[in-house]
A and B are shown apart, each in its own frame.
Chain A
Amino acid sequence: GQQLNQSPQSMFIQEGEDVSMNCTSSSIFNTWLWYKQDPGEGPVLLIALYKAGELTSNGRLTAQFGITRKDSFLNISASIPSDVGIYFCAGPLPGGGNKLTFGTGTQLKVEL
């Protein structure tokens, strides 16, 4: 099925550093969602994007809906230890009803 490719697959950064990750698709999406998953938990929504070019912030997190509608980006500023986890992009595939397709994930590890 449709897969959203995330990059990087994992990253190991120092506390206080900024983080950037992206999500790309071969298909156009009308909605991009960014989730964070902690170990042994379900995903929690961080940011939702609904319009091409949209830039939305949630605290230290900023996400952008790519102009081509085939990609999205998530930035985390001044990372802290609790940012550790797996970040997933997701979106309902146009014509696929309300079913969400998830990205491959980016695992973030923060070094103190």
Chain B
Amino acid sequence: GAVVSQHPSWVICKSGTSVKIECRSLDFQATTMFWYRQFPKQSLMLMATSNEGSKATYEQGVEKDKFLINHASLTLSTLTVTSAHPEDSSFYICSARRDGYTFGSGTRLTVV
């Protein structure tokens, strides 16, 4: 079946630094991947749609300069949280579509 791998599973960083999260489709090619953010006890909120070979499309209210998305190949999309602040601490989840929507295992980001 379709497998999506996300790395790292957790990361702690200092305020002001940048953090990169990787999302890979292991056994299929994904021209489109999706990035979600989930705060404690809340639902998944779509941040952006990552398109291979072109710019990502961001949901309303999501700062594209803060959350940089790169989809350089058919199996890899990266989300970089730039100049991280404590309020960026959250659970970030990626997803790719093949027949259905498969999700990565998530990345817990803590900014201190």
A interface, CB within 8 angstroms of B: 1, 33, 35, 40-45, 48, 88, 90, 97-105
Q: How many residues on B have C-beta within 8 angstroms of the other chain's C-beta atoms?
A: 24
CA A48 – CA B100 in complex, angstroms?
9
> Contacts A33-B100, A100-B101; is A88 near B46 (CB within 8 Å)?
no
Q: State whether A100 touches B108 (Cβ < 8 A).
A: no
The number of inter-chain residue pairs (CB within 8 angstroms) is: 48
With A1-B60, A103-B43 already in contact, the answer to whether A42 and B100 are too (CB < 8 A) is no
Q: CB within 8 Å of A: which of B13-69?
A: 32, 34, 42-46, 49, 59-60
Given contacts A1-B60, A100-B95, A102-B44, contact A41 B105 (CB under 8 A): yes
Report how far A19 CA is from B7 CA in the complex, Å: 34
Task: Tell me the B residues contacting A by CB distance below 8 Å.
Answer: 4, 6, 32, 34, 42-46, 49, 59-60, 91, 93, 95, 97, 100-106, 108
Asked whether B108 lies within 8 Å of A99 as measured between CB atoms, the reply is: no
Closest 5 CB pairs of A and B: A42-B103, A102-B44, A102-B43, A42-B106, A42-B93
Alpha-carbon distance A104/B46, docked complex (angstroms): 13
* A contact residues around B106 at 8 Å (CB): 40-42
| Cα distance, A39 to B105, chains bound together (Å) | 10
